[in-house]
Amino acid sequence: MGTAKTPKPVKLIASIFGADLAQIDRAEAALVARFGPVDFRSDPLPFDHTDFYAPEFGTGLVRRIVAFERLVDPADLPDVKLATNALEAEMSAGGKRTVNIDPGYVSEGKLVLASTKDHRHRIYLGKGIYGEITLHYHRGEFRAWEWTYPDYASATYREIFARIRARYREQLKET
């Protein structure tokens, strides 16, 4: 029989996308105020793997991925998702969101994203929030699953998360 243990802390991340970099900057600033400083910020990435969000956000969308310096308990993810949903609502204009914020975390073995939507490959975390293992780390790299969104499955995104994972591993050694 195994013994229940407290999990290692994880590296909180957020993916922020929208049509206006100023709004993305504003969202990032609000996240920093809530979760602390970032120690990784991607360059703006084209959000061009789907047009699903075009009716709400328009076209020419860009995404930024940030990782926060402070490590967190993985059990905090539902509260983080509720906070990012509240920020999306606060930043809405004319009944439409100006940013979409997808929080998650990087651990040594995976990238987990939070969602309000249930699906066959998601598990319930509590408070109306589900978790999805979007990428898994195997043989020295992040790898996609059949359900991984095409942008997250791309080499560019997998390399970003590998860099975040490397910083996370450094932080674990420091504690």
DSSP secondary structure, 106-125, as one string:
E-SSEEEEEESS--TTEEEE
Residue 57 lies in a domain: yes
Give residue 124's domain range: 10-174
The packing angle between helices 77-90 and 21-35, to 10°, is 140
Residue 37 lies in a domain: yes
- Overall domain count for the chain: 1
Residue 2 lies in a domain: no
Q: What residue type is 140 in one-letter code?
A: G
Residue 5 lies in a domain: no
Residue 152 lies in a domain: yes
The tens digit of pLDDT for each residue in 41-57 reads 999 999 998 999 999 99
Confidence of residue 175 (pLDDT cuts 50, 70, 90): confident
Average of per-residue pLDDT values in the chain: 97
Residue 142 lies in a domain: yes
Residue 135 lies in a domain: yes
pTM above the 0.95 mark?
Answer: yes
Of 100, 92, 84, 78, nearest to 18 (Cα)?
A: 100
Residue 104 lies in a domain: yes
Residue 132: per-residue pLDDT:
98
The tens digit of pLDDT for each residue in 146-172 reads 999 999 999 999 999 999 999 999 999
